[in-house]
């Protein structure tokens, strides 16, 4: 199993001077630490206008900074908002390729569409059309990263003439594709398009097994027709994370913060919102209270404890083993949530790397090799079903007319000749 760290860059109120600066600096330090400890992925989301829930509106900048300070950890857009109203597809292709070159080919390309009216409404995106627009854009972004020149496109979301989109990524044909998935329907969409599934719902092992079965059954079927120029057959699951040798302390450090993440996520969709005047942390505490002591007592009273990523190293081993057996390929830890402290996060990551990670990393390459060999004929068949955008020959490329007449250059040359004489 592979492991990743995930960042929304949450910042509950009240806000004080320097809080955002500290938030970004500490998150970057955590990614650098994760790289040194042997974590495989660092994922950064893109959100806009979501107050306490997320301050991660420019993940490409954060990931580029991380690229310069890390050596091996893969850097994932988890996700990039790909609808043209957010980011023009050509700009996304250029940014991905640039980051891929600067990071020595470590980029992962997760695609998303946004879910809240705060985002969709601000950029003029209709909720009913967002899925189709996102998939259309993502396919063209892949074409832009592969074809020289890009032949051009006329679609529902954007129109673009023939241009040579540069630079090209280091990874061939392009960085692996992922898609944010929150239910069984989106798992099916990801599999049908040959895209890795980023499961952003917090699942129990039984539901994870169902999702895995659905996903890989479609990957192996004729339903799978790749969106991009490659297939990324992988299922990643987001999990809560707080580790300590003392289970009570792990709960005290992490449970309220994780519960706030879920509360704020639901609140943004289900309740009215006044931009700039949110107070979700205060509302959360008022409605739920500080439940740490109650949860600790309940956990100590149970013979079997399942903290879903919150607990001791033994608790974490059990948690991960269940999901590995269910068919999950990567577990992504949501350690930066609510008001969890930088010190607690780093201590948890270090403890995990020392006590749990080796057991799951020891045979990961062997397991992946077996999986790749088993899926190879299905992926080959899927790629053969794809209707690829065809390159165009040089004599078919439309000429872009000059904006300055040639006579102007002739006149300039004559003036230079007179000056020289």
The whole-angstrom separation of Cα 357 and Cα 349 is 10
List Cβ neighbours of 359 (8 Å cut-off, separation of 6 or more).
317
- Using the 8-state DSSP alphabet, how is residue 265 labeled? H
The whole-angstrom separation of Cα 28 and Cα 336 is 11
E strands, 157-252, in order: 159-160, 177-181, 196-199, 235-240, 242-243
Share of the chain above pLDDT 90, in %: 88
Indicate the range of 23-37, 38-52, 112-126, 291-305 predicted with least confidence: 291-305
Q: Indicate the pLDDT class of residue 288, thresholds 50, 70 and 90.
A: confident
Every domain of the chain and the residues it spans: 2-385
Rounded (10°) CA dihedral 408, 414, 415, 417: 150
Domain 2-385 top-level CATH class: alpha beta
Sign for the CA dihedral angle at 332, 330, 66, 227 comes to: negative
Tens of pLDDT, residues 214-253: 999 999 999 999 999 999 999 999 999 999 999 999 999 9
Tens of pLDDT, residues 90-128: 999 999 999 999 999 999 999 999 989 999 999 999 999
Q: Is pLDDT above 60 for 19?
A: yes
E strands, 193-247, in order: 196-199, 235-240, 242-243
Share of the chain above pLDDT 70, in %: 95
The whole-angstrom separation of Cα 9 and Cα 6 is 9
Of the candidates 163, 166, 174, the one whose C-alpha atom is nearest the C-alpha of residue 111 is 174
- In the chain, how many H helices and how many E strands? 15, 12
The whole-angstrom separation of Cα 183 and Cα 198 is 11
Q: Which residues on adjacent β-strands are paired with residue 85?
A: none
């Amino acid at each position: 199993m592979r492991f990743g760290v995930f960042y929304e860059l949450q910042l509950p109120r009240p806000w004080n001077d320097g809080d955002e600066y500290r938030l970004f600096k500490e998150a970057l330090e955590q990614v650098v630490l994760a790289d040194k400890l042997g974590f495989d992925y660092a994922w950064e989301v893109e959100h806009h206008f979501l107050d306490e829930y997320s301050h991660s509106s420019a993940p490409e900048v954060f990931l580029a900074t991380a690229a310069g300070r890390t050596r091996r950890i893969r850097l994932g857009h988890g996700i990039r908002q790909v609808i043209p109203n957010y980011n023009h597809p050509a700009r996304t292709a250029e940014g991905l390729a640039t980051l891929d070159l600067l990071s020595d080919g470590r980029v992962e390309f997760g695609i998303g569409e946004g879910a809240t009216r705060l985002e969709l409404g601000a950029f003029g995106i209709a909720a009913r059309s967002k899925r189709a627009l996102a998939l259309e854009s993502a396919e063209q972004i892949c074409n832009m990263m592969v074809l020289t020149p890009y032949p051009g496109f006329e679609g529902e979301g954007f129109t673009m003439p023939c241009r040579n989109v540069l630079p090209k990524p280091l990874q061939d044909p392009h960085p692996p594709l992922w898609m944010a998935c929150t239910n069984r329907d989106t798992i099916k969409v990801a599999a049908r398009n040959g895209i890795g599934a980023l499961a952003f719902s917090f699942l129990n092992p039984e539901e994870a097994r169902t999702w895995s079965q659905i996903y890989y059954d479609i990957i192996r079927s004729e339903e799978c027709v790749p969106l991009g120029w490659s297939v990324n057959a992988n299922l990643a699951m987001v999990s809560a994370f707080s580790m300590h040798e003392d289970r009570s302390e792990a709960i005290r450090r992490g449970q309220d913060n994780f519960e706030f993440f879920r509360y704020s996520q639901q609140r943004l969709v289900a309740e009215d919102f006044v931009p700039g005047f949110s107070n979700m942390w205060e509302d959360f505490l008022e409605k739920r209270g500080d439940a740490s002591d109650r949860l600790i007592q309940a956990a100590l009273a149970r013979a079997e404890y399942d903290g879903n990523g919150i607990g001791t190293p033994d608790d974490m081993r059990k948690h991960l083993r269940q999901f590995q057996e269910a068919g999950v390929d990567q577990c992504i830890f949501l350690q930066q949530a609510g008001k969890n402290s930088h010190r607690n996060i780093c201590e948890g990551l270090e403890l995990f790397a020392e006590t749990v990670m080796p057991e799951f990393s020891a045979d990961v390459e062997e397991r992946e090799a077996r999986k790749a060999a088993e899926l190879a004929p299905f992926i080959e068949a899927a790629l053969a079903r794809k209707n690829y955008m065809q390159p165009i020959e040089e004599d078919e490329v439309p000429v872009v007319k000059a904006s300055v007449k040639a006579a102007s250059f002739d006149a300039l040359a004559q003036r230079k000749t007179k000056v020289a004489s």
